[in-house]
Amino acid sequence: METTLLIIKPDGVQRGLCGEIISRFETKGLQIVGMKMMTISEEMANKHYAAHKERPFFAGLVRFMTSSPVLVMAMRGVGAIEICRKMMGATFGSKAEPGTIRGDLGVSNSFNLIHGSDSPEAAETELGLFFNDGEVQSYELANLNWIYDASEEL
């Protein structure tokens, strides 16, 4: 099992898309193991997007991510990082395939609704930034055997 960080960004929260987005991941069979609504501080946004610090869009990205509450989630499943990334779609809504979150719900090249960790290392770092000890839960899904073929996948 792999755990990844997802953030429904300010545009997703403001547009009332949290339920729709969460539902897609749960319907897929992924497990929410942590969730909280928060307003990201400028300091936290700077840490989270530090890799983009030298890019011309950095200041705007920090301003956007701190402009309104976000919904932060820890999502768990076999191959969760890759599955979530595929479900999110291409970075820009105008270029994202239909059937993806960004492809179905977005058209903007600036506001792209959701963030997801892009590697196990990034997931570990990002989960540690947004969740304190004890905030990511471990529990067995009652329907786990109906999601995965336990003899092959777990």
Active site residue ranges: 115
User: Taking the CB of residue 23, how many other CB atoms lie within 10 A of it?
Assistant: 10
The alpha helices in 67-140, defined as continuous H runs, are 80-88, 101-105, 120-130
Tell me the Cα Rg of the chain: 15
Crossing angle, helix 18-28 and helix 80-88, to 10 degrees? 130
Provide, for the chain, the percentages of residues in helix, strand and coil under a 3-state DSSP scheme, each rounded to the nearest 5: 40, 15, 40
Distance CA 19, CA 46 (A): 28
Report residue 146 as tokens: 């109906």
